[in-house]
Amino acid sequence: KAGVTQTPRYLIKTRGQQVTLSCSPISGHRSVSWYQQTPGQGLQFLFEYFSETQRNKGNFPGRFSGRQFSNSRSEMNVSTLELGDSALYLCASSLGDRVIDEQFFGPGTRLTVL
Amino acid sequence: QKEVEQDPGPLSVPEGAIVSLNCTYSNSAFQYFMWYRQYSRKGPELLMYTYSSGNKEDGRFTAQVDKSSKYISLFIRDSQPSDSATYLCAIPPPRNAGNNRKLIWGLGTSLAVNP
């Protein structure tokens, strides 16, 4: 069974640009969550989608947005990039929508903002 | 005070050592506790979970919960270089936390097991 895939794996952007990251969950998984990981803040929750609906949202500015498609694939978008957005962005999928359901993570997209 | 506290380390031990990784939490209503392991350049993966109090063993790994102290531990016996990774605790909020329930993550402890 293929794992969670994320594209691209690495990205370099400059301040003010926007970026779109993509996540393909494990086949059959309907829940997709996005996280930002930095050394100082650890894993911070961005949002969760289940069956194309955003169910949960973290405390990030509106520059961060996401969506989920009917095939459960998900994208997240960051507009007007800032230096502080440099981080590892992780996508995780789970079979159900319970908070205790095991999350399966992709390898992440490493975003560097110059 | 953060809901979950975890010392980020780094922790460096010789091969074969017993490793103790810990998290403290503030909400006595927490019932379910998870440990994820993250290798370099990979996403986290679920290692173990426990419900309520007590111990749970899986091979060389033991997860322990002390609810009276609000303290959870992950022990690794006979540690191996392949155990070198970051270990994160994750705690789901209780059911009465409302609709915006999401996992509460520790910062992660970086562990290096030296041959």
B-chain residue closest to A44, CA distance: B105
Q: Residues of A near B (CB-CB distance < 8 A)? A: 4, 33, 41-43, 45, 48, 55-58, 90, 92, 99-100, 102-108
Q: Which of A43, A44, A55, A98 is the best substitution to test chain B (most B C-beta atoms within 10 A)?
A: A43
Contact check, Cβ <8 Å, A42/B107: yes
pLDDT at A98: 84
Q: Which of A103, A104, A109, A110 is the best substitution to test chain B (most B C-beta atoms within 10 A)?
A: A103
Give the distance from residue A70's alpha carbon to the nearest chain B alpha carbon, in angstroms: 23
Give residue B84's Cα distance to chain centre.
14
Q: Cα separation of B13 and B20, whole Å? A: 11
Neighboring chain A residues of B108 at a CB cutoff of 8 Å: 42-43
Q: Which of B38, B103, B110 is the best substitution to test chain A (most A C-beta atoms within 10 A)?
A: B103
Give the distance from residue A80's alpha carbon to the nearest chain B alpha carbon, in angstroms: 26
pLDDT at B2: 82
Residue B9 near residue B106, CB atoms below 8 Å: no
pLDDT at A78: 98
> What are the tens digits of pLDDT across the range A61-82?
999 999 999 999 999 999 999 9
> What are the tens digits of pLDDT across the range B71-112?
999 999 999 999 999 999 999 988 776 666 789 999 999 999
Give the distance from residue B44's alpha carbon to the nearest chain A alpha carbon, in angstroms: 6
pLDDT at B101: 76
Give the distance from residue B38's alpha carbon to the nearest chain A alpha carbon, in angstroms: 10
Q: Give the A:B interface size as CB pairs under 8 Å.
A: 50
Strand A109-113 to A10-13 pairing: parallel
Mean pLDDT, residues A90-106 taken together: 91
> What are the tens digits of pLDDT across the range B1-48?
789 999 888 999 999 999 999 999 999 889 999 999 999 999 999 999
Nearest residue to B30 via CA among B92, B107, B88: B92
Q: Cα separation of A6 and A22, whole Å? A: 6
Contact check, Cβ <8 Å, A90/B43: yes
Q: Could you count the other beta carbons within 10 Å of the beta carbon of residue B38?
A: 21
> What are the tens digits of pLDDT across the range A20-57?
999 999 999 999 999 999 988 999 999 999 999 999 89
